[in-house]
Structure 1
Amino acid sequence: MDARRIIATVRDGGTPSRAELGWFAQGLADGGVTDAQAGAFAMAALLRGLSEEGRVALTLAMRDSGQRLQWDLGGPVLDKHSTGGIGDCVSLVLAPALAACGAYVPMISGRGLGHTGGTLDKLESIPGVATTLDEARFRDVVGKAGCAIVAASARIAPADRRLYAVRDVTATVESLDLITASILSKKLAAGLDGLVLDVKTGSGAFMKSEDDARALAQALVSTANAAGCPTSAVLSDMNQPLVPALGNALEVDQAMLVLTGAAKGPLAEISAVLGGVVLADAGLAPDIEDGANRIAGVIASGRAAEHFGRMVAAQGGPVEFVENWARFLPEATVIREVPSPVAGYVAGFDGEALGLAVVDLGGGRQVESDVVDPAVGLSDIPPLGTWVEKGQPLARVHAARTGAADRAAQAVLGAIRLGDTAPQVPALIRDRITA
């Protein structure tokens, strides 16, 4: 086969055959396709798009470019994927909650991307926790704890690893078809029996408009189901942080507050909804409402926290983390309040600016080689509609140095809009999208 002919087919609006896309994906994985050819393919896909048939074929080809996991466990193998947002620590709550409901969750997660935090970085803020596990240990953790949150090995969807690196430097990240294939190739390689997708929209999401988010959700759901993995999506709001804190250790603290029943709010709500959807799809609940109640029930009973504690210990963390998590999480050396310059209602957020403020503090990466400081971030952010008096804190900055704290404080003042009237707070759950 010839890479040039495959590229030309996509360039001209056609659909390469499944065999051609399989050959191309294998070439991405083993180096038979050059970087120039990979970039040309990505640009052609961005500008002309792939048909649904082509998108499914590319996803399966990328899945099959490496190892595919298979499981023999006592319950269905389920997972969740989020398109990313600020304060999004749902995975830390949902994975152990699903495990407590009888599912097994081998969650292959990512690191921070752009203004959004990464689940692996959050989990690694717990001392000792390892997220790069060999297959034997990965399987052992899933078997013992019911869930594991790990990084993808080099053997999982290597074609995606190569193509994503090329897309990142060729202005082709935004391709709907390539986003879909990238997300699903890794999830499908994990050997799932069911998947729920949390597709976010709003100022703190990658997909700012609801139309774009809906299009992505529909592409993901149709492709995953065509590939043989029962999948639904939830369209959720990201016009404000999901929890009142941004930053790795700070978000772990928020997840623990929910897991131990000390806090409710949007994180608990969306975890229950997503869990209800995937439990119902997998036959572990008769309907979404019952599934959501089961998720809420295992959190209230402490069973979800117990599974989280088992996972943390099995991945190298403290055995007594759940009982005294505040003792183990790192704390910043500089903590500073950001006083409100005026009185008013919290009327809006520039979510991306808040996320980038955390990155600037050292809580994320500006280049891949950056070392993340797990202790830094923002906390005590008031939700939309809150009345704030002049001088009352709009947030607390957690920083390593005073200069970084000063910059973050200015970023917070620019990112939180105050108004004279209370805003209409959008619903957290916008829609559910099924096959």
Structure 2
Amino acid sequence: MSPEPFDAVDVIRTKRDKEHLSVGQIDWVIDAYTRGVVAEEQMSALAMAIFLNGMSRSELERWTQAMIDSGERLDYSGLGIPTADKHSTGGVGDKITLPLAPLVATFGVAVPQLSGRGLGHTGGTLDKLEAIPGWRATLSNDEVHAQLASVGAVICAAGPGLAPADKKLYALRDVTSTVESVPLIASSIMSKKIAEGTGALVLDVKVGSGAFMKDLDAARTLARAMVDLGTDAGVTTVALLTDMATPLGLTAGNALEVRESVEVLAGGGPADVVDLTVALAVEMLAAAGRPVEEPEVRAALADGRAMDVWRRMIIAQGGDPDAPLPTAAATEQVVAEADGVLARLDAYGVGVAAWRLGAGRARREDPVQLGAGVEIHAKPGDVVVQGQPILTLHTDTPERFARAHEALDGAWEVAPPGTAISRRPVVLDRIR
């Protein structure tokens, strides 16, 4: 066996001392970690050094490429039509992928949407879709390609061959308090998205209490890093910074969000969900070289074209789009204690409540309750009267209600009648 060309201790020391990692060091450490040559404790130390000292643009580009090179890279050039994908950094009530993928596909752009599961207070797209009886998340690469060719859209789990180095490092960051590092977040997201083989990528970077990035400056820094990585890799990339101070739409929870998504595809649904779906679709179509004006995109929701693609997409993955969705066994309401105007509804509090009701998981192996979650009856700026329901809590296990109410304590507020409440726009900024 030939000796390793580098030593993990030297690589750690380089970054610990705020020096620049070489191309060789980066390529080796990612490959050696994937092979098990670099131990978990050594990669933990390197992740903390990166967390504390950051990375230059050239280091980050090479780190991301090394993670891509640890596995396979998909290729959709044989489809003969452009491809576009969307990635959200995660939020509460963020069901946008469900109506967005079929909407974009109606305009001749294929959408290979490889999605994930929820963890903590943020929901996962695959968990939501598994509320549809029969629907399956796991497809082979050949099945993905065939569905893109026949339907134009697929939402499924990423295969094990995509960026395996990221899968190992992602789990490690969770237990070493190195999650909140822009280089590690950006390389994690972009290594998977670039490896997916899409030609265009639109990033939905959430901002606010229910998001990973709490303020605009931090979100801009992350968005800029990811857009630069995509661009450097030859993927047309743009980012929208979107509001996550308040939950998106009127539901948080798996089956509840599927129901709301179908309402959007039927030409209805909450205005904020429709507006963000349309804004992201316009960006995806433009990035894929098939620009479509906003009114025409809205028309595809209103006239049933997007719904037709949705039904074909669900059926292609074994799901029954007409089957009743799961409902929770028990409900409880949270009501207004006085007349006035809803001044605030905190996304994080609602997300934690939905999680505690059973809609989310604390560990990756935990099951979820498909019918659990929070239904929202008023949004900030709405007039409310004493006794009016603000939220309905759904769960199969009523003993969870108490902890959900604790999460909501202080998460919403009613101001005196006549109080003017300013509403933030859904889209806060655009980075490209």
- TM range, smaller chain: over 0.9
Secondary structure of the residue aligned to 1:196 is strand
Number of the residue aligned with 1:61: 66
1:239 to 245, 250, 255: 245
Contact 2:242 2:429 in 1 (8 A): yes
Would the aligned equivalents of 1:207 and 1:213 in 2 still touch at CA under 8 Å? yes
Distance 2:280 2:45 in 1: 37
- 1:264 Cα deviation (Å)? 4.6
Are positions 1:112 and 2:118 aligned together? yes
In the TM superposition, residue 410 of structure 1 has moved relative to its aligned partner by: 4.7
The aligned amino acid for 1:25 is: I
Which residue of structure 2 aligns with residue 90 of structure 1?
96
User: SS in structure 2 opposite 1:213?
Assistant: helix
SS in 1 for 2:79: coil
Candidates 365, 368, 392, aligned match of 1:372: 368
Matched, 1:221 2:223: no
Mapped contact 2:393–2:401 kept (Cα < 8 A): yes
1:277, 1:291 within 8 Å by CA — same for their partners in 2?
no
The aligned runs of 1:298-317 (5 Å cut-off) are: 298-317=300-319
The residue number in structure 2 matching 1:426 is: 424
Q: Give the structure 2 partner of residue 47 of structure 1.
A: 52
CA shift, 1:116, in A, is: 0.8
Segment of structure 1 superposing worse, 268-277 or 291-300: 291-300
Aligned mates of 1:294, 1:136 — CA distance in 2 = 32
Amino acid at match of 1:423: I
| Aligned counterpart in structure 2 of residue 156 of structure 1, from 143, 158, 162 | 162
Superposed displacement of residue 97, structure 1 = 0.8
Q: 1:293 to 1:21 in 2, by over 3 A?
A: farther
Structure 1 distance, partners of 2:209, 2:190, is: 24
Q: CA RMSD in A?
A: 1.4
2:328 alignment counterpart = 332
Residues 1:13 and 2:13 are matched in the alignment: no
Distance 1:17 1:92 in 2: 41
More displaced stretch, 400-409 vs 193-202: 400-409
- Residue 109 of structure 1 contacts residue 151 of structure 1 at CA under 8 Å; is this kept in 2? yes
**What is the TM-score when the length of structure 2 is the normalising length?**
0.95
Q: Report the Cα offset of residue 337 of structure 1.
A: 2.1
Q: Distance in 1 between matches of 2:231 and 2:366?
A: 37
For residue 355 of structure 1, report the CA deviation from its aligned partner: 0.5
**Match of residue 294 from structure 2:** 292
Letter in 2 for 1:240: T
Give 1:33's aligned residue: 38
Distance 1:367 1:205 in 2: 19
Q: Write out per-residue CA displacement over residues 148-201 of structure 1, whole angstroms, 9 at most, x where no aligned residue.
A: 111122111000001111111100000100000000000000111000001111
Contact 2:250 2:270 in 1 (8 A): no
Partner of residue 277 from structure 2, selected from 253, 271, 275: 271
8 Å Cα contact 2:336-2:414 kept in structure 1: no
Report if aligned partners of 1:341, 1:391 keep a CA contact under 8 Å in 2.
Answer: yes
Contact 2:247–2:350 (CA<8 Å) still a contact in 1? no
2-side partners of 1:137 and 1:314: how far apart?
A: 10
CA distance in 1, matches of 2:285, 2:144: 23
Q: Which amino acid aligns with 1:338?
A: V
CA distance in 1, matches of 2:181, 2:297: 34
Q: Secondary structure at the match of 1:251?
A: helix
- Alpha-carbon deviation of 1:386? 0.8
State the one-letter code of the partner of 1:356.
V
The one-letter amino acid of 1:308's match is W
Deviation, 1:291, is 4.1
CA displacement, residues 93-136 of structure 1 (integer Å, 9 cap, x when unaligned): 11111111111111111111221101111111111111122222
What TM-score results when the alignment is normalised by the length of structure 1?
0.94
Is the 1:284–1:291 Cα contact (8 Å) retained in structure 2? no
Give the Å deviation of 1:14.
Answer: 2.2
Q: Deviations over 1:234-276 (max 9, x none)?
A: 0111111111111000001111100111225011101111111
Aligned to 2:378: 382
Alpha carbons 1:279, 1:291 under 8 Å: kept: no
For 2:296 and 2:9, the matched residues in 1 are separated by 52
SS in 2 for 1:328: coil
Aligned length: 424
Aligned to 1:350: 346
Q: What amino acid is the match of 1:188?
A: I
Structure 2 Cα separation of the partners of residues 380 and 172 of structure 1: 34
Query: Which amino acid counterpart does residue 301 of structure 1 have in structure 2?
Result: D
CA contact (8 A) 2:104 2:284 kept: no
The amino acid of 2:266's aligned partner reads: T
> Displacement, 1:18?
2.3
C-alpha displacement at 1:406, in angstroms?
A: 4.1
| Aligned partner of residue 150 in structure 1, secondary structure | strand
2:286 partner SS: helix
Specify every segment of 5 or more residues in structure 1 that has no aligned partner in the other structure, as ranges.
none
2:105 matched to which residue of 1? 99
**1:24 corresponds to 2:64:** no
SS in 1 for 2:410: helix
Counterpart position of 1:133 = 139
- Answer whether contact 1:377 1:399 (CA < 8 A) is retained: yes
Residues 238 and 430 of structure 2 are in contact (CA less than 8 Å); yes or no, is this contact kept in structure 1? yes
Q: Which residue of 2 aligns with 1:81?
A: 87
Map residues 162-181 of structure 1 onto 2, 5 A cutoff: 162-181=168-187
Task: List gaps (5 residues or longer) in structure 2.
Answer: 1-5
Q: State the identity as a percent.
A: 42
- The 1-side partners of 2:270 and 2:48 are apart by 44
Deviations 1:363-396 (CA, angstroms, capped at 9, x unpaired): 1001222110010111133111011111000111
Q: Compare 170-179 and 379-388 and name the one that shifted more.
A: 379-388
Q: Once structures 1 and 2 are overlaid, which stretch shifts more, 222-231 or 246-255?
A: 222-231
Q: What CA distance in whole angstroms lies between the structure 2 residues aligned with 1:78 and 1:363?
A: 29
